[in-house]
């Protein structure tokens, strides 16, 4: 087992262990006095993994229930959260009970948001089953849902009491979703770990996936501990995301997965920053080659003007500006605040 300790205002551990799901209840039980546990999952993950998690919880003294929603980003809406609330109510969930998020990023975001807001806050546990959620979204306490006009525009910070990562779940992950997660993995190499980036170049990520998960989680832990509420340094985790979210929106949250959109966004912004002398020469080419190695996109099917226009509703907007994350070089990044009034001049659109 590998353990990463997260020392936020509400500290918790991240445990990385093969075949940890059947032991989930044993790890959760010492952390809570809860009588009831609701497992929240989607229609893809629940048929594969819900039974063993529910069984483990029951064996450790929890009264259990399962809430399942239709898999996909299109379910990440307040209407789904309302159904979740009603399930909590009908199963007598109190403020001392817990929610267990079993699934990918959509599941973790929604279950966490429901837990944060139901009865003004109940504990929850993250059990991420996708690569993207294991290396990124299950850690750090960001929860939320989408609105029709943009992604993750409604949400809150709510740290889990525990994160359980089982790399074995990646064996049932469709290849497209594995590739999706690699988009976030490459991001971590870009912003904080030249050694990870170089290893991804030289080896196949699948051959050292436990190390990949541990390093990405450790990087995010360090950033989140320094900036839990996302008011400064944590913005670097959004490398590729400003244009990435715009691409998702332009594609009506279809066509591109989140990781694919982030990859394309990262490649586009790095080409721009390098062309302006803000990024070390050759960085964009290295990034593009690595993304292509893992079958991730480096371009978009929209004009730059359309992408830039779509960023104006991004949740990272502050007043009349948006923070863009640029690379100095591979493994080192910085925040560049650009006024929206200057977009035309800066981006040449």
Q: How far apart are CA 134 and CA 252, in angstroms?
A: 25
Cβ proximity of 14 and 6 under 8 Å: yes
Which CATH architecture group holds 2-172?
3-Layer(aba) Sandwich (3.40)
SS3 of 51-98: HHHHHHHHHCCCEEEEEEECCCHHHCCHHHHHHHHHHHHHCCCCCCCE
Contact 16, 133 (CB under 8 A): no
pLDDT of residue 254: 85
State yes or no: pLDDT of 315 exceeds 60.
Answer: no
Mean pLDDT of 264-281: 98
**Most distant CA pair in the chain, distance:** 62
Distance (Å, whole) CA 347 – CA 341: 11
- The pLDDT of residue 314 is 64
Q: Is-contact 38 100, C-beta < 8 A? A: yes
The reported pLDDT for the residue numbered 327 is 98
Choose the CATH number for 195-347 among 1.10.1660.10, 1.20.1090.10, 3.40.50.720, 2.40.10.120.
1.20.1090.10
Residue 313 in this model has a pLDDT that exceeds 70: no
Listed in sequence order, the residues at least 6 apart from 173 whose beta carbon sits closer than 8 Å to its beta carbon are 129, 130, 131
| Token duo for residue 152 | 């993750």
Q: Which of 207, 187, 184, 113 is nearest to 154 (CA)?
A: 113
Cβ 140 vs Cβ 224: under 8 Å? yes
Angle among Cα 9, 15, 20 to the nearest 5 degrees reads 140
Residues 106/132, Cβ–Cβ less than 8 Å: no
Sequence ranges of the domains in the chain: 2-172, 195-347
Summarize pLDDT for 178-216 with one digit per residue, the tens. 999 999 999 999 999 999 999 999 999 999 999 999 999
Dump pLDDT digits (tens) for 38-68. Answer: 999 999 999 999 999 999 999 999 999 999 9
Q: What is the pLDDT of residues 135-177, one digit of tens each?
A: 999 999 999 999 988 888 999 999 999 999 999 999 999 999 9
Residue 21 has pLDDT above 70, yes or no: yes
Res 340 pLDDT > 60: yes
**pLDDT digits 0-9 by tens, 276-303:** 999 999 999 999 999 999 999 999 999 9
Helix 175-192 crosses helix 283-293 at what angle (to 10 degrees)?
A: 160
Q: Is the pLDDT of residue 319 over 70?
A: no
Give the tens place of pLDDT for each residue, 88-133: 999 999 999 999 999 999 999 999 999 999 999 999 999 999 999 9
> Strand (E) positions, 107-247?
123-128, 142-147, 150-157, 162-165
Cα-flanking dihedrals φ and ψ of residue 234, to 5°?
-60, -20
pLDDT of 344: 87
User: Tokens 């035309």 identify what position?
Assistant: 344
């Amino acid at each position: 087992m590998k353990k990463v300790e997260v020392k936020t205002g509400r500290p918790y551990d991240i445990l990385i262990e093969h075949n940890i799901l059947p032991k989930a209840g044993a790890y959760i039980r010492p952390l809570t006095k809860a009588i009831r546990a609701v497992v929240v999952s989607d229609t893809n993950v629940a048929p594969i993994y819900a039974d063993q998690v529910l069984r483990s919880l029951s064996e450790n003294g929890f009264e259990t229930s399962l809430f399942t929603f239709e898999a996909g980003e299109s379910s990440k809406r307040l209407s789904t959260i309302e159904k979740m609330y009603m399930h909590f109510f009908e199963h007598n969930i109190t403020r001392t009970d817990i929610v267990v998020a079993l699934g990918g990023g959509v599941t973790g975001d929604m279950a966490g948001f429901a837990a944060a807001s139901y009865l003004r806050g109940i504990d929850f546990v993250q059990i991420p089953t996708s690569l993207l959620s294991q290396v990124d979204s299950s850690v750090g306490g960001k929860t939320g849902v989408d609105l029709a006009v943009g992604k993750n525009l409604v949400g809150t910070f709510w740290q889990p009491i525990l994160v359980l990562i089982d790399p074995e779940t990646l064996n049932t992950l469709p290849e497209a979703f594995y590739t999706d997660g690699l988009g976030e993995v490459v991001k971590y190499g870009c912003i904080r770990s030249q050694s990870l980036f170089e290893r991804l170049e030289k080896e196949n990520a699948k051959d050292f996936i436990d190390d990949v998960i541990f390093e990405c989680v450790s990087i995010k832990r360090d950033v989140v501990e320094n900036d839990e509420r996302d008011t400064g340094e944590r913005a670097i985790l959004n490398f590729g995301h400003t244009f990435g979210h715009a691409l998702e929106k332009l594609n009506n949250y279809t066509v591109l997965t989140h990781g694919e959109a982030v990859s394309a966004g990262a490649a586009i912004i790095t080409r721009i920053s390098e062309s302006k002398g803000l990024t070390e020469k050759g960085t964009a080419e290295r990034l593009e080659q690595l993304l292509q190695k893992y079958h991730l996109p480096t371009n978009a099917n929209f004009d730059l003007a359309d992408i830039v226009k779509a960023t104006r509703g991004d949740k990272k907007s502050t007043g009349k500006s948006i923070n863009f994350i640029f690379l100095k070089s591979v493994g080192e990044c910085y925040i560049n605040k650009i006024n929206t009034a200057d977009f035309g001049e800066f981006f040449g659109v």
